[in-house]
Structure 1
Amino acid sequence: MIKLPYPGLPKGLFALSGSALTVFMLALCAQAEEVQETDPSCKPFGGYREKIDDLKNTRIDSKVFDSLAGKKIRHIEYNTISVFNKDDPDENNSLYLFLNKLHVNTRPGTIEAQLLFSENDSLDIQKVQESERILRKRPYLTNAYILPVTVCDNQVDLMVVTQDSWALEPQFSVSKESEGTNSGFAISDGNVFGTGTNLTIGYEENTQRNLVSYEFSNPHIFNSQIATKLYFADTSDGRDVIVDISHPFYSLETPWSAGFYTQDVSQELPIRHMDEEINEFRHQSMSNRIFFGVATDVQETHTQRWVVGISNEEDKFYPTDETLMPIPGPRKLVYPWVEYQYLQNRYGVFKNINQIQRPEDVALGHNLVFRFGYAGKSFDNPDDIYRYIGKYSYILDFDARHILETSVTLDGRHHNHLAESNSAVVTGTIAYNYFDDEKRRWYMGVNYSMGQDLAQYEELTVGDMTGLRGYPTDFQRGEKSYVFTIERRYFSDIHVFNILRLGAVAFFDVGKAWGLEQYGYSPTLSNVGFGLRLSSSKVRIGNVVHVDIATPLAAKDSVDKYQLTIGAQQKF
């Protein structure tokens, strides 16, 4: 038994394994023994923060810093827990400990560089909470949070607790299609030498194209606030390149942002309808963008920003051996633009909404981003063009049992004279979550999209993972679509080998895509089914694998009796 160094020591650490508490207790004991306290007003912190598995409420409200705002931060300690916790009896075995030896833990300097506060600063609760959110977004960490350790009259010591995820992994893919077999292999390290750097080398092969790809990315390269992504693929028919370097709005209070982005990527686009491939062509997408932005209004309740930039978007299309119909014409747009952002500083930490037994940071309230650009022929455009992109969302939680989410997105371009180059899509989404308890939930969602003058590859589709899981991929096509879903969800506390978490779902979908004469009449489709949800607590953090079996209730003659869909998403 471990003696507590003082009453009221934290009962546990949320979202880590049960014995992660032991690590923290030992750290505090060591600190109490090794540090000779010179300030007689200092005492060990007497609050606690419960482990996420033990919480009965969906919303996780931590009050540990409520009485500490304004105190000077005297010292910050970093406690990095490895992938497998040797103090957890379920993980203290030779295999897991051997894997720990193969893994390089995230460096304290990597964590320190991402915090919005430092030693000798006055403690700002919002900066502490936002620092936690920044760290929890990193795929190389399974969880992150901050705790007070020692509290004095005017000072406080903090501990930043993180647990690593497994970062080194091989990746394989094989698929069989009518025209041949597609295969791929890659090796990826998502946390090279504990720096947060992702490095991936891959090879892909199909009947028409081979490529060797290299990707390097780091959201905080050299422990700075510079985000970098470099991608290069040497293909049998050319090269694919992506370069993305930016100083993003790293936090709600970041005063400025700037960046550069360039992309030249080609891919084959199969066009499917009614479970048949009706066309295929190659799409070369070229894009360049440079921007600069400032935060013009930073308040405790909200942040407003303005961004200006210039973009070049160019699309070219080429036939392949499987091309059966006319292909879209080329497009080119060069335009300056201005963007407005409004972010309401209301965040909640929840569990068991889209992830299984993990803390989820949700941006509540109103959030808006809208970009508008215009340019004439003087920018080497074929016509005067208007470009607009926007998203508005509003998320409300109430009575501890309900979350209502609404959003509207808009993406379009308009030419004064070249109507064949126009396109626009507007999408509205409403989602509602009702929580019976910490494991059982109801989910209802409706998605309605409407397009205009869409190229064939932009057409709206339903089927498979896009909704209507009882039907094949892109079973219906059109310029309008809707999908309504109701699900009964179950988030279990089963933790297989302390690696894999399980959930389950029963669902009903109804909807259709319609509005284009060439595809004929589109009946309303519906299906019922059930599925499993698998989420690793050690690797590929944030991904939830969906394994769904569904049977169609309408238009059953043209599809199989059962549809099996398997895929990974960022939601339950």
Structure 2
Amino acid sequence: MTIFRLVPLLLIATVGFARAESECQILYDRNDPRLFEFVDTRKAIDFDAYKGLQISSIEPVVLPIFNERNPKENNRLYRLINTLHIDTRPATVRRQLTLKPGTTLDPSALTENERLLRRNDYVSDAMIVPERVCGDQVELLAVVRDIWTLNPTASFSRTGGENKSDIGISESNLLGTGQSLAIGRFKNDDRTGYSIAYSHDQLFGNHTELDLTYANTSDGELKEFNFARPFYSLDTPWAYGLFTLREQRIDDIETAQETLNTFETREEFNEVYLGWSRGIVDNVARRWTVGYTDNTTQYAALSASGAAPPPDQRLRYPWIGWESIEDRFWTTTNIAQIGRQEDIRLGAYWSTRLGYANDSWGSSEDAAIYSIAHEYTLSVGKHHLMQLFGSLSGRYNTRIDRAESNFLTFENRYFHFIDDRNRWYARLKIDIARHIQQNEQLTSGGSGDLRGYPNDMQRGNERWLFTVERRHFTDWHIFNLLRVGGVAYVDIGRTRDTETPNAANTTNLANIGFGLRFSSSKAGKDKVVHLDIAVPLRERHGIDSYQILATGKSAF
């Protein structure tokens, strides 16, 4: 009799479940081919439509390096690479999810979580999509796509008349855990040596970072240790860190391919800090930090000309810092990378630090140590983006009432978007320094600024640079591995020395050039290979009639 009574109840429950399922809207599933098209798929989703819904679940989806549903990527070699590659573990992604089941969906918090996932150098891209909406609940998928992370390296680069090479092996996603390990040997015009580095940014599963570096070089060695829990997100309430460095090296001070001074540098740097924040208040995250720094630098003369090295220095000081970040970001593509989503911070950013060193604490001088930096990024319509940067840093020696190692920087970057694949880019940068040492001087030449001239072509305490580039991001995707861009540019600038007695007079330099940009879509995220030819237009005596530059950078 009991069984007959249960049957109607089961039928009612089944009908109710089926009705509830019919009321659900399936938007994306794990096997949806649209998940491989990050840029287009994410643009099509407006999470404002789901604002306030309860997040019932959020599950990681790890896509393979090659999309085997795409005929261009479905071949024996690419399938073999997919098989050999160790996928990112779902737990590795899950530890980085700031969105939690049971909370209401906030589009701003969701886009921040996407930005945090995209920061990983072992995924080519990341996004969060709605899997299913059932009534007032939404199920989410956190989608990432792996890249090949086990990289034997054998590279050569030339810039500013100097050659660099390295050979080694690196793994930036060890066993799918997000840890990185790199071992290599390098050679450049200054030194040769080998290095080993290890990094883990999810230690204890709570965003704690551990970084270890050791390098043994022909002129010394380097040891670095970093243990920190940073402000991982804008709502992170507290942070702490400990950083130490030990380095011994030989520094050559050069200009116009002439060595002015050579000395040995020994540096010891130790810093500890603690920070706190109320999170996002009125769309702004403000953070306070207190810390203590102990920095010792010693020099030994090695110059054949008898030139003196900089004076030894030790600074021990407590400090307080403040940071302000607007919660305004713009996600776009084809600015610094080729064909990938990029997160541009908009609005105002401030960072300040003030400390005081005293000889009674073991410092070599009594000084106030200060720094302040400001950045403002403005997007105007669909065709204009402007970034303004300004900073001031140095120390004020109270014994002699003078500001020393004072650096003032102003920079303006402008992007004009002609269409999705064509850009104009202009950059103006002005640096002014006062009362600096020889090893702190500003320089011009090489891949960083005046690309038609050798490294350190000019040296001094005042520098300006103006660059205009016409950039083109092609739709070429060679073997579905390499994306290609092109650029033509003009560089104009000058560095001069107004502090050193009888310093050589300099004049304005200018060059024109063109180049290609290559970025792998399946390996080496945020690495753009630059191949350039630059021709100097002024002061050509004693230098090559053109410079060939082959460098790896993090941006276009």
- TM-score higher than 0.5: yes
Q: d(CA) in 1 for partners of 2:193 and 2:401?
A: 36
Aligned mate of 1:545, from 521, 525, 529: 529
Deviation at 1:172, TM superposition (A): 2.8
Counterparts of 1:125-136 in structure 2, within 5 Å, are 125-136=107-118
1:298 is the counterpart of 2:280: yes
Q: Counterparts of 1:162-561 in structure 2 under 5 Å?
A: 162-173=144-155, 184-204=166-186, 211-234=193-216, 239-296=221-278, 298-320=280-302, 325-417=307-399, 422-516=404-498, 517-561=501-545
CA gap of 1:91–1:563, structure 2 versus 1, over 3 A, is same
SS at match of 1:441: strand
The equivalent residue for 2:555 is 571
1:161 to 1:49, Cα distance in 2 relative to 1, 3 A: closer
For residues 182 and 320 of structure 1, do their structure 2 counterparts lie closer, same or farther at Cα, with a shift above 3 Å needed? farther
CA–CA separation in structure 2 for the residues paired with 1:234 and 1:148: 50
Which amino acid in 2 is paired with 1:111? V
TM-score (norm. length: structure 1): 0.87
State the AA in 2 paired with 1:152: C
Supply the distance in 2 between the matched residues of 1:88 and 1:544 (Cα, whole angstroms). 25
Work out whether residues 396 and 402 of structure 2, in 8 Å CA contact, stay in contact via their aligned partners in 1: no
Moved more, 106-115 or 294-303: 294-303
| SS across alignment from 1:90 | helix
Contact preservation (8 Å) 1:461, 1:513: yes
Shift of residue 167, structure 1, vs aligned partner: 0.7
Distance 1:141 1:408 in 2: 32
Q: Distance in 2 between matches of 1:414 and 1:388?
A: 8
Q: Which amino acid aligns with 1:562?
A: Y
Query: Which whole-Å CA distance do the structure 1 matches of 2:535 and 2:165 have between them?
Result: 29
The CA distance in 2 between the partners of 1:552 and 1:168, in whole Å, is 40
Matched AA of 2:530: H
- Give CA-to-partner distance per residue, 1:367-390, whole Å, 9 cap, x none: 001101012122111221111122
Q: Larger C-alpha radius of gyration, 1 or 2?
A: 2
Query: 1:34-183, aligned counterparts within 5 Å?
Result: 39-45=21-27, 51=37, 63-173=45-155
How much has 1:278 moved relative to structure 2? Answer: 2.9
Whole-angstrom distance in 1 between the partners of 2:447 and 2:26: 51
Judged with a 3 Å threshold, the aligned counterparts in structure 2 of structure 1 residues 355 and 184 are, in CA distance, closer, same or farther, namely: closer
- Please state whether the residue corresponding to 1:127 is helix, strand or coil: helix
Q: How far does residue 319 in structure 1 lie from its aligned partner after superposition?
A: 3.8
> What is the distance in 1 between the residues matched to 2:497 and 2:60?
58
The letter for the 2-side match of 1:309 is: G
Judged with a 3 Å threshold, the aligned counterparts in structure 2 of structure 1 residues 236 and 91 are, in CA distance, closer, same or farther, namely same
Please give the secondary structure, in 2, of the residue aligned with 1:265.
strand
Equivalent-residue separation in structure 2 for 1:282 and 1:171 (angstroms): 30
1:250-303 C-alpha deviation (Å, 9 max, x unpaired):
100000111111111233322221133333333222211111111146225111
**Residues paired across the two proteins, number:** 532
CA 1:234–1:461: 2 relative to 1, 3 Å: closer
Distance 2:490 2:430 in 1: 17
Instruction: Select between 513-522 and 141-150 the one with higher mean Cα deviation.
Output: 513-522
The alpha-carbon distance between structure 1 residues 469 and 206, as it changes in their structure 2 partners (threshold 3 A), is closer
User: Is the 1:296–1:306 contact (alpha carbons within 8 Å) kept by the matching residues of 2?
Assistant: no
1:410-446 CA-to-partner distances (Å, cap 9, x unmatched) read 2212222368993121110001110111111111110
Q: CA 1:530–1:79 in structure 2 vs 1: closer, same or farther (change >3 Å)?
A: same
Q: 1:50 to 1:193 in 2, by over 3 A?
A: closer
1:108-132: per-residue Cα shift (whole Å, max 9, x none)?
1000110111222221212211110
CA RMSD of aligned residues (A): 2.7
Decide whether aligned partners of structure 1 residues 377 and 537 sit closer, same or farther in structure 2, where only a CA change above 3 A counts: same
Per-residue CA deviation, residues 525-563 of structure 1 (Å, 9 max, x unaligned), is 111111111111111111112111111111112321111
Structure 1 residue runs without a partner (length 5+): 1-34
Give the aligned partner of residue 6 of structure 2. none
Judge conservation of contact 1:386–1:415 (CA < 8 Å) in 2. yes
Residues 259 and 304 of structure 1, relative CA distance in 2, 3 Å threshold:
same
The AA in structure 2 aligned to 1:291 is: Y
Paired-residue identity, %: 34
Q: Deviations over 1:310-349 (max 9, x none)?
A: 1111212234477763211211101000001110110000
Q: Secondary structure at the match of 1:464?
A: coil
Farther-moved stretch of structure 1 (198-207 vs 465-474) = 198-207
